[in-house]
Amino acid sequence: MTVDLEALGLVALALGVAMAGLLIPRFPTGELGTAFQRALAGRVGWGAYLLPWPFVVLGGFFLFRRNPPAWPRVTFGYLLSGVGAWGVLMLVHPSAAGAWGAEARAWLTGAGGWLMAVPALLAFTLGLEAMLGLRPTRIVRSVLLGLMRATRRAGRWALAARRSARARAAFRADVALVRKDLTRVQRDLAALAGLYPGSAELTRWREQVQELKGRLRGADGEMLDEARADAASWRAAVDAFTADRAEDLVAHLRAEGVRDFFEWARTRAAYLAGGVEGASQVAQALDGVRKALALDLTALDTRYRRLTRERDQAEAALARASASSLVTASQAHAARRQAYHEVADAAEALERDAEHLETWRDLVGDVQRLLEAFPDEPEVHDLDGALAEDLRARGRAALSQQAPWAEAVAAVEARAQEARRRAKEEAVAAQAVAAQAGAASSPGRTGVSDEALLGPADVPAGGEEDTATPDAETDAETDADAPPFDPTGQEADGAVGPSLPRGGSHAVRPSATRDADDMPEVGGIPIQLPRDDLLDPGRPHGDDPEAQRREVEMRVRKIDQTLANFNLQGRVVSSVRGPTVTRFEVEPAPGEKIARFSNLADDLALAMAASSVRIEAPIPGKSVIGLEVPNADRDLIRFREAVESPSYARAKARLPLILGKSIDGQMWVGDLAKMPHLLIAGSTGSGKSVAVNTMIASLVFKFLPTDLRLLMIDPKMVELTPFDGAPHLIRPVVTNPADAAGVLLGAVSHMERRYKMMSRIGAKNLDQYNEKARNLDLPHLPFVVIVIDELADLMITSPKEVESAIMRLAQMARATGMHLILATQRPSVDILTSLIKVNVPARVAFAVSSSHDSRTILDTMGAERLVGLGDMLFYQPGLVKPARLQGPFVSEDEIAALAAFLRRQYFDDEFVEAYAADFEPVSADESEASGLIDWNDDKLRVAAEMVINEQQASVSRLQRRLSVGHARAGKLMDSLEALGVVGSHVGSKPREVLVALEDLPDIFGR
């Protein structure tokens, strides 16, 4: 059937135009148009305007006899796209989608409503694809693929941007770090330039650093690497400059202070401790001025000690000094120097006032004599009050104006003498008149005596009558010829006090501290710590600094030359001179093996003509190798120097042991309580016994016998026996090796006793026990240090007993306050067994003959390179490597003086009375006499004479003074009690002595 396309096209075109006309509100369509608009546009909104256009387009084609083959597909696509567009419009603008769109949008609420946009857009794209003749979903797939590609491109771009930003940020951070380093270098250089304003080198460095910092503004990677290397070089240069200046400043710090201030302060304090005697007002006022001077001296001493402490702290801080700390230390050094000058000026002023105080003492004595001679003279009392008022008002300022007051005293005395002379003349005249009158009335009556008229004060000491004379000058001459008045009320004995650092001397008063020479050489003294003056003073080092410098330079050249001869890359960067050796610090080149340096000890010794060279590779805490070369002239370290060193004086150690001085010049003080036992070994003559005496003396200088007791075992009978009789000893020094094992086993028993005592009151160590015992009124337990001078003899005599006793003590005795010091000159494995070494970790090695002996002592080599005479290696847990020290020297005379001072001390020895039996071995030498009196003991009469002379008797004192054991001393005391020489036992107090020395022949016979 043939279709008339023109007619169909005309109808479609007319329908489309009619629908468009009815939908346009501006056209006058009447009620039909309004109803059509309401029915169609009112329901679907703007979607109604899409309906006429397919009819218009198809009508146009059909009218012109065109029949497009794809018009059904295009029309379907157009309608489908319109539906999709209406759906999107309904979601976006519901009012434009008509009533149906508003209702649908109201029904589709929340996020679920917006999900309808997906099918709407899909319908729209499918319609477009149908219109364009594309495959379904092509547009959607193309869009999704495009989005994925865009997303990947955006991700790659963002990643590249982040990488680029990160690289730029890292570069800027590196630049900032280098700039920060340079800024620090600039700040340090500015500080150093302020400290050394005349240094052209610092000015040039600052300019170069500023120039390098300016080049960083446009720096690239290569320039940044160069700048970083330059910054490191500048930092190293500034640190080296600072370290050199710090060493110079340390030398200046060590020169700070006032010479002999402490000695002067101690002398002045002893002098000012003596009060002003007398009951006069001026004596009391002058005593107040003396107390003020003593307070000023204490404040001055405290200030000086604070300055010294600050100096020591500054010196310690300069070991790792920075530029800012160097500037601070320099400023503090300048301030301290000024403070030291002020202290010196104040000390000079106080010294002058102390000298004036002595003249005032004489003046006070004169006033006291006037008050006693003229008690009724008002002028004398007025003078006393005026002098006292002037001293109270002006204090120290009045001391320098003594001369006018001395003239006033002389004038008052002269007037008083004149008044008394006149009174005496008048009394004599009255006596003569009365005598004449009495003779006239009663010739047998005697006259009144001068003593009755003048009083006892005017009668001479000889008892003869004073012949009155009118000559006043004769009396004045007699007074002038009389001996000067002694304000102490005693005759002058010629004793002169210690001299002052700036001249002058004063008589030592009874209340002042006496020297050791003033103490009685016979008899006991209360327990007290030894004084430094018992030791020999240290001698100043007289070495030539210039010669030492030349020696060091020569040795540095030889070391560098020797290293070059063996193709070793390294150089000497610094040197430190110690008392025994000089340590040269060698910095090896990068990549150079340290073992190659360690093998050159003998070659270096040969090159420098030295006895031995010890190599420490590396030095702990430093990236250098130490070459320790013996000095041509060794420095002798006296024990007094060690005792007076701040390291010992301010030591916080519980049991301080003076070990020696290190190469750096520091005095090492160990703590036996932390070690807790010490092993000393070395060959004969290496300084082992001197070190043992030094350690014993360092304990004795810190502890009274009530706080520390010593148990000494000396098979050689010559090293520790000088301490025999000292109050610190629990029993006399054990010299018989056969008794030593019993004594050590007794020490083990005493240790077990201490553990039982501690467990009863819940104490874990000795300090806790003593604290709780003090609250519970229980006896105090002292520390016990067991000293064995020659362990080898004991190990040979009784190896099993000695080793087992030492093992038990080493393992358990620490908590009870018992510690061991073991010494031997035979460092072999059969003496220093592995069991002993594992329990005695702290060790001191002196010079030995072989590296095998060194390994036996220290488990490492090095002791075979020591030079002897106190040169030692000390190791304890916590040290990286053994430290090389030079032990101080204590002479036999010093030990003898110290022991003699200790032997004279006495006290109530409760510890020995209670526990000495624990340390006594079973001996066959004890007396076997029966009965209470042991007449076979040859020391019975000696003991009786001793207790009578000293007027006190105790078992512990007999044990010390007679050098006998506790058992024998107890038997002697029982015998003396049975003989009636001493009284019965009264607890811890000494027994009462009942007889005199002249009664002994009646007891013992002549």
- Lowest-pLDDT range of 35-44, 218-227, 308-317, 350-359: 35-44
Confidence of residue 456 (pLDDT cuts 50, 70, 90): very low
- Adjacent-strand bridge partners of 267: none
Pairing of strands 871-875, 883-886: antiparallel
Closest-CA residue to 125 (of 88, 80, 157, 87): 80
Q: Which amino acid is residue 131, in one-letter code?
A: M
Q: Are 315 and 254 in contact (CB under 8 A)?
A: yes
pLDDT at 540: 63
pLDDT at position 739: 87
Window from 158-167, 447-456, 506-515 with minimum mean pLDDT: 506-515
Instruction: Answer yes or no: is pLDDT of 506 > 60.
Output: no
How many Å is the Cα radius of gyration of the chain?
A: 54
CB neighbour list of residue 118: distance below 8 Å, 6 or more residues apart: none
CB-based burial of residue 709 (10 Å sphere; 0-12 exposed, 13-18 middle, 19+ buried)?
A: buried
pLDDT tens for 689-707 read 999 999 999 999 999 999 9
Closest CA to 817 of 754, 866, 868: 754
Are residues 632 and 612 in contact, defined by beta-carbon separation less than 8 angstroms? no
Q: What is the mean pLDDT of residues 514-522?
A: 43
Residue whose entry in the numeric block shows the structure tokens 């056209």: 27
Residue 518 clears pLDDT 50, i.e. is over it: no
Judging by DSSP bridges, how do beta strands 708-713 and 783-788 pair with one another? parallel
Residue for token digits 């020999």?
Answer: 536
Count the Cβ atoms, other than its own, within 10 Å of residue 551.
Answer: 19
CB 373 within 8 A of CB 479: no
3-class secondary-structure state, position 683 = coil
Position 435, amino acid: A
Asked which of 221-225, 635-639, 874-878 is least confident by mean pLDDT, the reply is 221-225
State yes or no: pLDDT of 792 exceeds 80.
yes
How far CA 789 is from CA of 18, 110, 570, 646, in Å, comes to: 136, 100, 45, 29
Q: How confident is the model at residue 671 (pLDDT cuts 50, 70, 90)?
A: very high
Q: Determine the 3-state secondary structure of 322 from DSSP.
A: coil
Distance CA(903)–CA(310), nearest Å, equals 40
pLDDT of res. 987: 64
Q: Give residue-wise pLDDT tens across range 820-834.
A: 999 998 888 888 888
Tokens describing residue 473: 């000058």
**Per residue in 761-770, is it b (16+ CB within 10 Å) or e — as a string?**
eebeebeebb
Cα 750 to Cα 730: distance, rounded to the nearest angstrom: 12
pLDDT of 538-584, one tens digit each? 766 656 778 888 888 888 888 888 888 888 888 888 888 899 999 99
pLDDT band at 476 (very low <50, low <70, confident <90, very high): very low
For the sheet containing 667-671, what is the strand order? 667-671, 656-662, 883-886, 871-875, 842-845, 678-681, 818-824, 783-788, 708-713
**CA torsion 682→684→685→690, rounded to 10°?**
60
Average pLDDT, the chain: 79
pLDDT value of residue 544: 73
Considering the chain, what percentage of its residues have pLDDT values greater than 70? 84
For residues 530 and 446, the model is more confident at 530
H helices of 115-220, in order, are 117-132, 138-195, 200-215
> What average pLDDT does range 849-858 have in this prediction?
90
- Residues 851-855 have a mean pLDDT of 90
Query: How is residue 397 annotated by DSSP?
Result: G
Mean of pLDDT values over 862-891: 92
Taking CA atoms, 960 is separated from 48, 520, 738, 969, in Å, by 133, 20, 21, 9
Q: What is the pLDDT of residue 438?
A: 56
Residue 3 pLDDT > 70, yes or no? Answer: no
Cα(338)–Cα(992) distance, rounded to whole angstroms? 61
Name the helix (H) or strand (E) containing 614: strand 614-616
**Sign of the alpha-carbon torsion through 119, 120, 126, 129:** negative
Task: Note the pLDDT of residue 310.
Answer: 83
Overall average pLDDT of the 44-73 stretch: 75
The pTM is what?
0.47
Q: What is the mean pLDDT of residues 286-297?
A: 85
C-alpha dihedral (885, 891, 894, 896), degrees to nearest 10: 130
Quote the CA–CA distance of 224 and 176 in Å, as a whole number: 10
842 close to 670: Cβ distance less than 8 angstroms? yes
DSSP 408: H
C-alpha–C-alpha distance, residues 443 and 421, integer Å:
30
Q: How confident is the model at residue 440 (pLDDT cuts 50, 70, 90)?
A: low
> Given its phi and psi angles, is residue 344 left (phi above 0), alpha (psi -120 to 50 degrees) or beta?
alpha
**Which residue from 741, 764, 778, 754 is spatially nearest to 915, judged by alpha carbons?**
754
Residues 480, 481, 484, 489, CA torsion sign: negative
Q: Identify which has the larger pLDDT, 489 or 579.
A: 579
Question: Does position 254 have pLDDT exceeding 70, yes or no?
Answer: yes
DSSP reduced 3-state for 843: strand
Among 21-30, 42-51, 775-784, name the one with the lowest average pLDDT: 21-30
Which residue is it, tokens 């004595």? 365
